[in-house]
Chains A and B, each alone.
Chain A
Amino acid sequence: DVKVTQSSRYLVKRTGEKVFLECVQDMDHENMFWYRQDPGLGLRLIYFSYDVKMKEKGDIPEGYSVSREKKERFSLILESASTNQTSMYLCASSSPPGATEAFFGQGTRLTVV
């Protein structure tokens, strides 16, 4: 069974903290993604990576950074958490070039207080 695993299901952090969200996939996929999902806004792409050490900004990268040191792991970093980053964060992976589906992790619900 294919698997994308996110390190935490729920997180509560304080404003100003540095936050790490981890994602691991076991499918040897080249592409990995971080989305956030908010009511009424759908899934919005924060960052993606199409190879180890390669990253590109998505639609809403401000306040976030990413790291991909190994193919199977893609980390999302909130440099200084703010309350407007309270959201559901979803990691996904897919295989190029014409991937017909992406596989999602179970999501991390982050609350910044």
Chain B
Amino acid sequence: GQNIDQPTEMTATEGAIVQINCTYQTSGFNGLFWYQQHAGEAPTFLSYNVLDGLEEKGRFSSFLSRSKGYSYLLLKELQMKDSASYLCAVRVPRANSGGYQKVTFGTGTKLQVIP
């Protein structure tokens, strides 16, 4: 089976930096995604990592270590609007589906940014 772990909740201060960790144990690996989901809204794509290392995109960065089954999402210069749930998801090959690669989601980390 697939197992993806993230902290349930985190709190951070406006203007600060926060790191949200994700660990995974999956049967195969072909990419890790981070999505942001504001309460009552659809998830929106933030980042994608398939090779080890850091991907930076503005205030958001995502890191991957495949050997450790570990990723983190780094949010800098936190703003109040960053209060949301952050979903880690891993894509794995699915043997008997025409090469389709299934994406499994973690339960999400609810981040609260306080003044």
Give the interface of A toward B (CB within 8 A). Answer: 4, 31, 35, 40-45, 48, 50, 54, 56, 58-59, 90, 96-98, 100-107
Contacts and interface: CB of A to CB of B under 8 A. Distances in A.
Nearest to B45: A101
Given A42-B108, A106-B41, A56 B97 contact: yes
A100 B48 CA distance: 6
A95 to B, nearest CB: 12
Interface in B53-88: 87
Given A42-B105, A42-B107, A50-B97, A100 B43 contact: no
B42 A90 contact: yes
A54 B98 CA distance: 11
Contact of A42 (B87, B99, B100): B87
A104 B43 contact: yes
A101 B102 CA distance: 12
Contact of B45 (A41, A45, A50, A102): A102
Interface of B: 31, 33, 40-45, 48, 87, 89, 97-100, 102-108
A69 B32 CA distance: 31
Contact of A31 (B42, B100, B106): B100
A31 B98 CA distance: 12
Contact of B106 (A42, A58, A90): A42
A48 B105 contact: no
A103 B45 CA distance: 8
A86 B100 CA distance: 29
Contacts of A40: 107
A4 to B, nearest CB: 8
